[in-house]
Amino acid sequence: MRGVTKCYGDGPPVLDSINLSARAGEVLSLIGPSGCGKSTLLRLIAGLIPLTRGTLEIASHAEVGFIFQEPTLLPWLNVADNVALPRKLKSAPRGTTRATPPSTAPILPSTDTRELLARVKLSARARAYPHELSGGQKMRVSIARALTLNPQLLLLDEPFGALDEMTREHLQEELLALHAAQAWCAIFVTHSVAEAVFLSDRVFVMSAAPGRLAHEVAINLPRLRNADTRLSPAYQAQVTHVSRLLRSVEQQA
Ligand SMILES: Nc1ncnc2c1ncn2[C@@H]1O[C@H](COP(=O)(O)OP(=O)(O)OP(=O)(O)O)[C@@H](O)[C@H]1O
- Residue 41: inside a domain, yes or no? yes
Would you report the helix, strand and coil content of the chain in percent, each value rounded to 5? 40, 20, 40
Question: Quick one: which atom of ligand 1 is closest to the CA of 191?
Answer: 25
CA pair distance 28, 195, nearest whole angstrom? 11
pLDDT at residue 47 greater than cutoff 80: yes
**pLDDT at residue 108 is higher than 50:** no
Eight-state DSSP code of residue 193: H
Is residue 193 a part of any domain in this protein?
yes
**β 185-189/27-31 pair status:** parallel
CATH of the domain at 174: 3.40.50.300
Residue 15 lies in domain: 4-62+152-251
- Ligand 1 centre distance from Cα of residue 103 (Å): 39
176 in any annotated domain = yes
SS (H, E, C) 102-120: CCCCCCCCCHHHHHHHHHC
Q: Would residue 70 count as lying in a domain?
A: no
Task: Kindly provide the residue ranges of all beta strands, DSSP E only, lying in 79-191, ordered along the sequence.
Answer: 153-157, 185-189
Q: Each residue of 227-240: b (16+ CB within 10 Å) or e?
A: eebbeeeebeebbe
Q: Ligand 1: which of 5, 15, 38, 68 to mutate, judged by most atoms within 8 Å of the beta carbon? A: 38
Rounded average pLDDT over 85-102 = 67
Question: What is the percent of the chain with per-residue pLDDT over 90, rounded to a whole number?
Answer: 66
105 alpha carbon – ligand 1 mean position (Å)? 41
Task: Kindly state whether residue 237 falls inside one of the protein's structural domains.
Answer: yes
Strands (E) located in 27-184: 27-31, 53-55, 64-67, 153-157
Strand order in the sheet with 212-218: 64-67, 153-157, 185-189, 27-31, 202-207, 212-218
Report pLDDT digits (tens) over 18-37: 999 999 899 999 999 999 99
ipTM: 0.97
Total structural domains within the chain: 1
In a domain, 122, yes or no: no
Is residue 164 included in any domain, yes or no? yes
Q: Do 143 and 163 contact (CB within 8 A), yes or no?
A: no
Instruction: Quick: pLDDT tens for 124-134.
Output: 999 999 999 99
Would you place residue 106 in the very low, low, confident or very high pLDDT band (cuts 50, 70, 90)? very low
Give CA–CA dist 81/110, Å, rounded. 10
> Which residue's alpha carbon is at the smallest distance from atom 8 of ligand 1?
40
If you ran DSSP here, which 8-state letter would residue 215 be given? E
Is 29 strand, coil or helix?
A: strand
Q: Ligand 1: which residues within 6 Å by Cβ? A: 8, 14, 34-40
- Any domain includes 133: no
Q: Which atom of ligand 1 is nearest to the CA of 40?
A: 18
Q: pLDDT (tens digit, 9 = 90+) per residue, 183-200?
A: 899 999 999 999 999 999
